[in-house]
Each structure stands twice: as C-alpha cells, then as structure tokens.
Amino acid sequence: MNLDLALRTSIQQAVTALFNQQVEQLQIQPTNQEFEGSHTLVCFPLTKISKKGPEQTATAIGEYLVVNSGIVSRFNVVKGFLNLVIADKVWVEVFQSIFANKNFGLLEKNGREVMVEYSSPNTNKPLHLGHLRNNFLGYSVAEIYNALGFTVHKVQIINDRGIHICKSMAAWKLYGNGETPQSSGLKGDKLVGKYYVEFDKNYKAQMKELVEKGMSEAEAEKKAPIMLLAVEMLQKWEAKDEATVQLWKAMNGWVYDGFESTYKRMGVDFEKLYYESNTYLLGKEEVLRGVESGVFFKKEDGSVWVDLTSDGLDQKVLLRGDGTSVYMTQDIGTAILRFRDFPKIEGQVYTVGNEQEYHFKVLFLILKKLGYKWAEKCYHLSYGMVDLPSGKMKSREGTVVDADDLMQEMADDAEKQTREIGKTEGATDAEIKDLSEMIGLGALKFFLLKVDPKKRMLFDPNESIQLQGHTGPFIQYTHARIRAIIRKAESMGVKPTKSELTQVTSLEPAEREVVFMVNNYINKLSEAARDYSPAVVANFAFDLAKGYNHFYQSIPIFNETDQAKLKFRIAFSQVVADVLKKSMRVLGIQVPEKM
C-alpha cells in the first residue's frame, strides 16, 4: 500500500466533496512532534477554495476523512494545520506490503542517468582526511541515486600533470638517489608525497638565501633554482621530452598503486577514470576556439583570458603566456569529454571542497558561453573542511592527517574497545580483525557523513567509535541485536508469513512510530538525492535505530503470549534490520550479523 498516495487521494476527494472544487497541489508534511499524528495538511492555501478560515477548513476536511476515508482514525487542528492520525489497521497494511517486498528501498531502473565525480586527487601526495570526506560523500550520493533507480556513472579526474607534479619530480631528481617504493618500503603515494615536502623545504631555503642577497621576495619565488627546474620540467613534459615523460610515468605509477590500496580499504570504486594529461589538450583546443569566436581574448604576452566582469565575476586566465594550461583548461576539456562519452546523463555532480566554489562558478559560466547548454546540468557538491581536536593523529609530515593512518587507527581503536568490553568471546583473531575493520571504518564514515556537507565539521575519533550516541557503531550494534533476536525466533520455530500479519489489529505507540519511519525511507532517499546530502540518510538510520531500541526496551518480544503479535514483532524486527542495512549500505557502511 502506498500510504502517501492513498492519503493524498482521500484529501483531494474530501476537498471536491466539501467545496465542489478540485485541487492538485497539497502541502503535506510530517507532524510536529508536539502534536498527535503522523501527517499534517497545511490548510492555509485551501481557504481560497473553501471560503472559510484555515481552522474551519481543517476541521471540515478532518471530519470528512474520519467518516469516509478508511485511513484516518482521528485528527487535531492547530491553527491552519490539520494533524492526521492514521488508523492502526492501515499501518498494519502498510507494514504488510513492506514485509512482502524484498526489494523495498531499491526502486526499479527509471532510464535516467547521472554522473558523480569524487576523489580527483593530485598525484603528488597521499590521500588525507579531506579526501576521506570527499570520497565518502561522492560515493554515497552515487549510491543514493542508484537506489532510486538511476544509472550512475562514478568517475574521477586524476590531476596527473602540472607544476605540482613537477615539484615532486624535481625534488626526486635532485635528492632521490634512485629511491623507489621497493627500495624504501614506502607506499608509492607516500614516497612521492615525501619529495613534494622535500621540494617545499628546499624551495623556502633557497628563497630565503636569495632574499638575503638582495632579491625581492616576489622575484625570489620565481628565480629559486629548484622552482626553475620544476618549471623547466613542466615545459619539457608538454614538449614530450622522453626522459621527463618517463620519470613522470614512473612516479605517477607509484602513486596509482598506493591510491588503489587506499580506495579498496575505503570501499569506494569508479566506473571510469579521466586523466588531466589527456583532457587538457581538448581544453586547449576549446580555449583557442573561444579566442576565434570572440568569447576569450589574448593579452600582449600571449596568455588567453576570459572576461566575466559583466557577470559579476572577474577576468580569468585560461592559457599562460608560454602556452601551458591551467586547471581551468583541463576542467573545460574534461566536462566536454564526459558529455561526449555519456550523452544521456542529465546531470554531472562535482564533489569538491568549498574553497573551489568560485572555480566552479567560472567553469560552468565558461562552458555556457562556449555554447554548451548542458552546462546548466552541472552541479558543484561543495563541502566544508574537516578539523580534528588539536594534537590528534598528525601524519608523518606533521601537516595533514593521512587517510591510511587514520583508517588504521580507527580499526585499532575499534579492536581495542571490542576486546575491552568482552565482545570477542569465541571469535578467532581473523573474525575480530574483520569486525574491528567494519566498526572502525563504519564509525569514520558515519561521523563524516552525518553532518550536512556544506558545514565545516570537527571529527572526534573517540566520540565516533562509541557504541552509544549518534554514531555508526550504535546503528551497527542495533542491527546485530536484531539479527540475534531473529536467530532466536528461528530456533523457536517462529517464522512469520505475510498473511499472518493481518491478524494484528492494533499497534503500540513505539511500533506505530517505527512503521512510519520505515515507510518514509524512500522519501528520505529522495530528499537526500535532491539536496545531495547523505546526512539525510545517516540521520534517518540513527532515528530508526533509536526508535527500534525504544520499542525493544518497552515491549519484551519473547514474553508475548499472543502468537499473532509475536510473529508480527519478529517480522517487524526483520524489516527494521533490512532497512538499517540498506540505509547504511548507501552510506558505504557494512553492518555485522553479530557484535
């Protein structure tokens, strides 16, 4: 039974019968927790039809629904808000249809396609805490759309060229002595990151020396020998100098191997990878085409710019005077290539930190000026930075929190906590490791996803790992508890069927509340997709787990002597476990059978 549709239809029939007019648009929202009911009809817009005050309108509709709908058992009116109490028999019917639908929460394919970009790292350093939020957000948004029936293309752009890459290459050439991941024992991405830090250290020292010799700071930034080498390597790379290209391929290969193992542990995947080294050429072509058509202009030094001052922005460089490209160049090429590769996509989501908001405003506007109508289908999923309590879990470089290190520390903390509270009895070391990984990564993902993406957030590792509170482990533990209940019921021979559920005619308040939440799951997925916010699903899962625990504490399941009610409550528990598992799955989080 589709309760929302049935209720909407009944209200439309009530309006027609009472006021002799049809209405298409109705404002129905969840009832405020202060009042009895589950659905609230906002009656102010209907006063034009009813020719009555909002309270009189609400009362008339409420009375009609109670007598005629078979859905509403009672109502209350607060000003112009009609709060509706759904009859228990209807909730049982709603639950029965959910229980019978093994694919509840997964809609059939709708023929629509979207693309979600996430991660998109530079190949000059390992992934860090910010990348974790990025990957978890993008992956979850993709999975939410997938659950709603969309065909989703998960992609990333690998920023594998540019001056930042050449900085690591220059430092390795000067100070590397042929070091490799094999000879050093370091993951490839960490080894390349080591030389990026080495570049910065020597660059600052060289600038200081030049300034002390009388050079201006601005000139020293350009004339430092190590920077001159990096710029020279960039120019040689674009000129396809063989030795430079070979070094670039080798160091990027080290990084890709490192990234692959990190992504595997994160639990994220990609359908297609785009590489800046491939897309920047298409971007340069588009920029030159824009010059010919008058969209862009050249300055005396040969650099190419776009003037966006009439659009409330500023001028933006697209090609440097020496002909080398900038980030914007490759982003133009990448966007065009993606819509060529996937012409059916109706939207492209860029998961990138909020420090790039201006960049994407400019990008989308440039694409629009180049004549690409699909530019309006591009969306920047902007997210805030992640902070840690001071002094917590700094990486080896002492500047950022390394993603690998953080994931390992979360798994270690989960294992320590699991052993301390005695949850490992009878488990092998391998089982304990697997459970700890599930809890640790679940804690990390949930904590990063439960906050609205737009907000800057504080990640507290200790708080995130707790079994009680607004945490992933709390939901995981609730799922494991329910699975234990179901196993006990099965050992007793209690296996509910759909037909048996109709024997229950009344529900306890805690049951009614949870059935309402479960029935609202698809609406929550749709809300999360509309807002590009996995936080909607994360908080739904927490509320559902909390609601079930309230039910569990107030209603002793196995003390029930009425077999119909016992079977209903076992079926009820099965459905909650299933929806918890599905809601956590779209967040990229696994839930254990035992805990």
Q: What is the pLDDT of residue 326?
A: 87
Residue 55 has phi, psi (to 5 degrees) of: -70, -40
- Orientation angle between helical segments 403-420 and 429-449, nearest 10 degrees: 120
Q: What is the pLDDT of residue 397?
A: 41
Q: What is the pLDDT of residue 399?
A: 57
* Count of H-run helices and E-run strands, the chain: 22, 14
Q: What is the pLDDT of residue 64?
A: 98
pLDDT, tens digit (0-9, with 9 covering 90-100), for 53-106: 999 999 999 999 999 999 999 999 999 999 999 999 999 999 999 999 999 999
Q: What domains does the chain contain, in order, with CATH numbers?
A: 3-86 (3.30.1360.70), 403-585 (1.10.730.10)
Which segments in the chain show pLDDT lower than 70? 390-399, 423
Residue 534 burial class via C-beta count within 10 angstroms: exposed 0-12, middle 13-18, buried 19 and up: buried
d(CA 65, CA 58) in angstroms, rounded, equals 11
Residue the block writes with tokens 């991941």: 181
DSSP per position, 5-43: HHHHHHHHHHHHHHHS-------EEEPPTTSS-SEEEE-
- Orientation angle between helical segments 535-554 and 563-585, nearest 10 degrees: 160
- pTM for the whole thing? 0.92
DSSP per position, 182-245: HHH---HHHHHHHHHHHHHHHHHHHHHHHHHTT--HHHHHHH-HHHHHHHHHHHHHHTT-HHHH
d(CA 436, CA 421) in angstroms, rounded, equals 13
Q: In 3-state terms, what secondary structure has residue 142?
A: helix
Cα torsion through 423, 428, 430, 431, rounded to 10: -40
The b/e string for 546-558 (b: 16+ C-beta within 10 A; e otherwise) is bbbbebbeeeebe
Q: How many CB atoms lie within 10 A of CB 112?
A: 15
